[in-house]
């Protein structure tokens, strides 16, 4: 199977545990070499966080299990890169 090299997720999570802990725990998943966590929106009940993960062969199910364990949910997969190398998205007229 072709490995997942980059995964960008839109995650809705409760305020606790903190975003730093979510980033650390997802960084511990098999195949993940680095994680960026960006706070997109914060309200009284929840936080919307963008998680960007990169690695040689990201175990998506392990990442989802960690997220679920935080009482959070994946709203969407916003970007996915697979294959032998990472390809940056090219610009289109819509950009």
- What are the domain boundaries of the chain? 4-80
Average the pLDDT over 21-34 and give the result: 97
pLDDT band of 95, cuts 50, 70, 90: low
- b/e sequence 15-41, b meaning 16+ C-beta within 10 Å: eeeebeebbebbbebebbeebebeeee
- Per-residue pLDDT of 42-85, as tens digits, reads 999 999 999 999 999 999 999 999 999 999 999 999 999 998 88
CATH topology of domain 4-80: Alpha-Beta Plaits (3.30.70)
pLDDT at 94 over 90: no
- Of 2, 1, 3, the closest CA to residue 57 belongs to 3
More confident residue, 41 or 87: 41
């Amino acid at each position: 199977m072709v490995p997942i090299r980059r995964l960008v997720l839109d995650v809705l999570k409760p305020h606790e545990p903190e975003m730093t802990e979510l980033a650390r725990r997802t960084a511990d998943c098999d195949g993940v070499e680095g994680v960026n966590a960006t706070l997109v929106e914060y309200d009284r009940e929840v936080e919307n966080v963008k998680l960007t993960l990169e690695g040689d062969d990201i175990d998506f199910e392990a990442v989802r299990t960690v997220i679920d364990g935080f009482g959070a949910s994946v709203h969407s997969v916003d970007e996915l890169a697979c294959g032998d190398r990472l390809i940056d998205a090219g610009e289109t007229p819509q950009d």
